[in-house]
Structure 1
């Protein structure tokens, strides 16, 4: 085939779906604006007597895109790119499938080939939701999307409405958290690849569950990060390494790649929303920030599809503008994670007050985080050594825009041993914590296994293939925790397969005490939240917390309901503003006398007054 026969001069439409140019119809395209020569390498596409691989020259257009049209190529074709005179074939930066890992060739994948059964699905709103965070690789021993689908009945019985998958895009090795991904559009092959993700989403929709996906645009993992070889995708540094080039020269295609990737997850995998990892690490000085641009395009797609597509940000800024509408000067995110509430709950339940938890040792921290969202709201943070955050307008911003949680992957996994709260807190206190989260105006999030007080740890683990990187990760992890005062022997080897295996949920625990009791309580609390509108009412200005005994006794005022929590070890008499008429749910045996409720230690009661 001659060069003239392999070239197409079709211009690149910046707003088009990013599926174009990835070989489905024999069209290949890659952005490499500063390269002098780009070749497309095709594998196994010759005839029986032809070569196992061949190189096709590509032609550059005025926008820095290199293109080729190849007759006979299509779904199943494996390909890679050769840049200038470099002999190393590199995977497509926009690859949809990596069957041989992140260092191998890409494979053309046809999204249209999957048969969906969710045509009647209209989605679920985030307001009123209960979210369940799930890591595919440790949710089951098999660590696959198919195996996760076999456990969906548990989530339906629990009563959650949204499943939030931790990152599933391709990373090096078989096992890892997923935040070391290097190819944003390819589903991790050991999890089952793109069709396995679609099958899980389809199965979730069939059971009434929405599916959110955690995506990471703020950095790349350390192994297989070939993206910078193609173009100026990165500029400057953040906490994890090079920072995405969002506002420098040649940044328009970089931003477009992020937006197209987000839209493709939602459109082609039928996902119901995205969780955006650490958006504070996205350095962006444009007049229209990337997040505002992204939210505008996602809103347009949601309108076209006829279902909600919320974007949920993880942000360390405590900036309420994150969740304000664009027309009000905000970024248009539907919600954000609320670490202040987690930290306040953690200190109140465990008594730990080291590191960033020291800022939350004040007894007022928990009531403040429950009612005002941010404890640091233009106030001094001792951990940061400066003023931090800004106040939330609780008369205008609903609590449903903030996710509340007792635990999540970060707050467990970034501990040296990955130990869960249940290792340090008795079941009674765990159930009190669950009541505070699930009866609050915020959107509750449950981390997998939390609902039965799982004792399996969830430490950091990876399975990189480069020996030097393996040792570097080991040593880095040891140094990090040694600086925090941890004994080196307490830090699991993140590269030992046994560390990943230790994190796999032990499902047999759900049938044994005290785990079964905790699970029953979570189910009852979620059912009560769904049954009693006052418990899911997101209006912060109609919510109050009455605290006593140095913050050990808390009463949540939820319309005509009162949620009484005694975090102390001993029983306590709690005076209410009105006499209870009905006990709706309790983890202990409260005694009601007039307006007084005698609550046993480490227990809660939900009452109607």
Structure 2
């Protein structure tokens, strides 16, 4: 789809600069830059524009509305003074990429490490994060995923309330600092994904509604704010441009789109399909992957077309997490209530089939049975930022489990064919909580604090001896700083041994699981035992048969014969047909045996 106007400053070959803003509700508009105020000319469809004969890179600028209000550029590339301040005119990209030939990695190799820039290190900056990338790569992680960094209000926050989608959050560093982080990750062989929020804007610092009310469908809000009007061409242009901005300007390897069930679009094609089609057509020289979080379980976003292309590579499968969490913690309220009936059975179903509950379509095509989707269409995790940070105390899963149980869950996560994701700190058994935090004041801060009680009830309730009074103010500075990882104790034997354990699991996955996953097809998984404690699942994949045998009980279990080569065992192998309590075995049968079976 061709667009007449683009958002943000445009640098022309003749040395001039064009500033544009879509402000259909305004009768007049002016550009304010370098202390000058320059009238802008109204064009078609509510756009205003002005051309400067030079390129005043490094200047602060903004727009002056007809009522005298000053607003930043909604497509600002950097906000040195925050959401209420002027925008910085960043010049054409001249960053000296050291890994300019980086072409990405195949999706099936992805082993995700989700991190929040502000709490990943003590300094909380892009530059500070670079130090820890080699360690993650040495452990075998192949991708880091940054929680949202689009400019949001205040100095600290999770980032899901961003309002200036093109500007990296100023508290984390400059745009070039972010590029250095991506470049350093690529040097380590790590892909870099960015979490983007295209379903709403945050409640503070969003001025679009003043001069472009048509940007939103305010009569049909999402749970977090006004719904975005993707049926408006200028709005579509904004978000398509934003996708390309992050992938081209910063060379991210992929994006994770937050809560796409709240993205409603009456246009054709659906905005999600247009995003996917645009990325597919634009990036033909390197691998770029798009991921969704789709609570509605719309498999239409994941199904392959006749050419094998999928709109999105994978979806965060909360149902795997929820069933697993209930099985090992007994917490069965709030979001976990639907999983209290035979949770281990549901874990097996999620491993074998994907979604436990078929959802609704998103882009309007037919809804496939999730079992018909390849296992690589699902991203699995034992916890992510939501499931830690929304808990009453922000406590991590391993702090409430017996070590043998936690080890088993971790084995299941890495040795299954789904794409694994680990939340920052869990790779070294961090004892630091991760809480929800934001930097608001007044009534909005009070509302956010009150909402914490509801979220706590949804994510496990209150631990023994704790109550609502133990939920700290999310707007407090200490809430933020106490969520920062502590990297000082990595040589403690327990942490060192755990990192070695994770390294072994990822290496086993790399050697024996990943080779089976290229072009994986659907209908691959089969539950072998109906006994809840016997988490026995087979997957018929292009390269062979993957056979997981995990015992989630206190007693040894028999699992029979007809198995491939043993490639992983929790402990000593023991008897060939017996698996010890709380232990895991993984077998691989090469595809040649399939060919023999087919001809017999």
Once the two structures are overlaid, the 10-residue window that deviates more, 255-264 or 447-456, is 447-456
Structure 1 residue 482: deviation in Å? Answer: 7.1
Q: Given the alignment, which residue of 400, 404, 409 partners 1:433? A: 409
Q: Which residue of 1 aligns with 2:569?
A: 586
Does the 8 Å CA contact 1:246/1:283 hold for their aligned counterparts? yes
Q: Distance in 1 between matches of 2:458 and 2:341?
A: 26
Whether 1:563 and 2:548 are equivalent positions in the alignment is: yes
Structure 1 residue 179: deviation in Å? Answer: 0.5
Whether 1:497 and 2:477 are equivalent positions in the alignment is: yes
Compared CA separation, residues 144 and 256, structure 1 to 2 (3 A): same
Three-state SS of the structure 1 residue aligned to 2:431 is coil
Q: Which residue of 1 aligns with 2:47?
A: 65
Structure 1 residue 156: deviation in Å? Answer: 0.5
Structure 1 residue 145: deviation in Å? Answer: 0.6
Compared CA separation, residues 580 and 208, structure 1 to 2 (3 A): closer
Three-state SS of the structure 2 residue aligned to 1:532 is helix
Does the 8 Å CA contact 1:323/1:330 hold for their aligned counterparts? no
Structure 1 residue 139: deviation in Å? Answer: 0.8
Does the 8 Å CA contact 2:513/2:546 hold for their aligned counterparts? no
Structure 1 residue 545: deviation in Å? Answer: 3.4
Cα shift readout 1:203-227 (whole Å, capped 9, x = no counterpart) = 1111111111110011111121112
Structure 1 residue 470: deviation in Å? Answer: 2.4
Does the 8 Å CA contact 1:373/1:392 hold for their aligned counterparts? no
Q: Which residue of 2 aligns with 1:386?
A: none
Structure 1 residue 401: deviation in Å? Answer: 1.4
Q: Given the alignment, which residue of 224, 228, 234 partners 2:205? A: 224
Structure 1 residue 69: deviation in Å? Answer: 1.7
Cα shift readout 1:315-338 (whole Å, capped 9, x = no counterpart) = 111121011246799981222111
Q: Return the TM-score normalized by structure 2.
A: 0.88
Q: Given the alignment, which residue of 156, 169, 180 partners 1:188? A: 169
Q: Distance in 2 between matches of 1:473 and 1:341?
A: 28
Compared CA separation, residues 514 and 352, structure 1 to 2 (3 A): farther
Compared CA separation, residues 540 and 510, structure 1 to 2 (3 A): farther
In structure 2, runs of 5+ residues without a counterpart are: 361-365, 590-600
Whether 1:474 and 2:463 are equivalent positions in the alignment is: no
Q: Which residue of 1 aligns with 2:59?
A: 77
Once the two structures are overlaid, the 10-residue window that deviates more, 95-104 or 149-158, is 149-158
Q: Given the alignment, which residue of 314, 336, 345 partners 2:324? A: 345
Does the 8 Å CA contact 1:31/1:66 hold for their aligned counterparts? yes
Q: How does 1:50-61 map to 2 (within 5 A)?
A: 53-61=35-43
Once the two structures are overlaid, the 10-residue window that deviates more, 99-108 or 370-379, is 370-379
Q: Distance in 2 between matches of 1:544 and 1:467?
A: 54
Does the 8 Å CA contact 1:413/1:460 hold for their aligned counterparts? yes
Q: Distance in 2 between matches of 1:172 and 1:20?
A: 23
Q: Which residue of 1 aligns with 2:384?
A: 408
Q: Which residue of 2 aligns with 1:30?
A: 21
Once the two structures are overlaid, the 10-residue window that deviates more, 488-497 or 526-535, is 526-535
Once the two structures are overlaid, the 10-residue window that deviates more, 179-188 or 319-328, is 319-328
Aligned length: 566
Compared CA separation, residues 229 and 326, structure 1 to 2 (3 A): farther
Q: Which residue of 1 aligns with 2:113?
A: 132
Cα shift readout 1:28-80 (whole Å, capped 9, x = no counterpart) = 111101210101111xx3xxxxxxx2211111111221111224442101011
Structure 1 residue 16: deviation in Å? Answer: 7.0
Structure 1 residue 130: deviation in Å? Answer: 1.1
Q: Which residue of 1 aligns with 2:291?
A: 312
Cα shift readout 1:443-475 (whole Å, capped 9, x = no counterpart) = 1111111222322111100112x4332233223
Q: Distance in 1 between matches of 2:293 and 2:359?
A: 19
Q: How does 1:121-160 map to 2 (within 5 A)?
A: 121-160=102-141
Q: Distance in 1 between matches of 2:528 and 2:195?
A: 35
Compared CA separation, residues 145 and 483, structure 1 to 2 (3 A): closer
Cα shift readout 1:507-543 (whole Å, capped 9, x = no counterpart) = 2343224333322221111101111147753445343
Whether 1:545 and 2:512 are equivalent positions in the alignment is: no
Q: Return the TM-score normalized by structure 1.
A: 0.87
Three-state SS of the structure 2 residue aligned to 1:257 is helix
Q: Which residue of 2 aligns with 1:239?
A: 223
In structure 1, runs of 5+ residues without a counterpart are: 1-11, 46-52, 380-388
Does the 8 Å CA contact 1:17/1:264 hold for their aligned counterparts? no
Compared CA separation, residues 534 and 215, structure 1 to 2 (3 A): closer
Q: How does 1:95-174 map to 2 (within 5 A)?
A: 95-174=76-155
Does the 8 Å CA contact 2:221/2:227 hold for their aligned counterparts? yes
Q: Which residue of 1 aligns with 2:594?
A: none
Once the two structures are overlaid, the 10-residue window that deviates more, 480-489 or 420-429, is 480-489
Q: Distance in 2 between matches of 1:476 and 1:265?
A: 32
RMSD: 2.7
Does the 8 Å CA contact 1:427/1:453 hold for their aligned counterparts? no
Structure 1 residue 479: deviation in Å? Answer: 5.9
Cα shift readout 1:141-167 (whole Å, capped 9, x = no counterpart) = 111110111110111012111111111
Does the 8 Å CA contact 2:348/2:537 hold for their aligned counterparts? no
Compared CA separation, residues 500 and 536, structure 1 to 2 (3 A): farther
Whether 1:207 and 2:192 are equivalent positions in the alignment is: no
Three-state SS of the structure 1 residue aligned to 2:585 is strand
Three-state SS of the structure 1 residue aligned to 2:323 is helix
Compared CA separation, residues 15 and 536, structure 1 to 2 (3 A): farther
Q: Which residue of 2 aligns with 1:334?
A: 313
Structure 1 residue 15: deviation in Å? Answer: 6.5
Q: Distance in 2 between matches of 1:203 and 1:579?
A: 42
Does the 8 Å CA contact 1:39/1:81 hold for their aligned counterparts? yes
Does the 8 Å CA contact 2:7/2:20 hold for their aligned counterparts? no
Cα shift readout 1:334-365 (whole Å, capped 9, x = no counterpart) = 22111111112212222222122122223321
Does the 8 Å CA contact 1:441/1:539 hold for their aligned counterparts? no
Q: Distance in 2 between matches of 1:165 and 1:189?
A: 15
Compared CA separation, residues 273 and 346, structure 1 to 2 (3 A): same
Three-state SS of the structure 2 residue aligned to 1:564 is strand
Q: Given the alignment, which residue of 499, 510, 525 partners 2:505? A: 525
Structure 1 residue 590: deviation in Å? Answer: 4.5
Once the two structures are overlaid, the 10-residue window that deviates more, 501-510 or 158-167, is 501-510
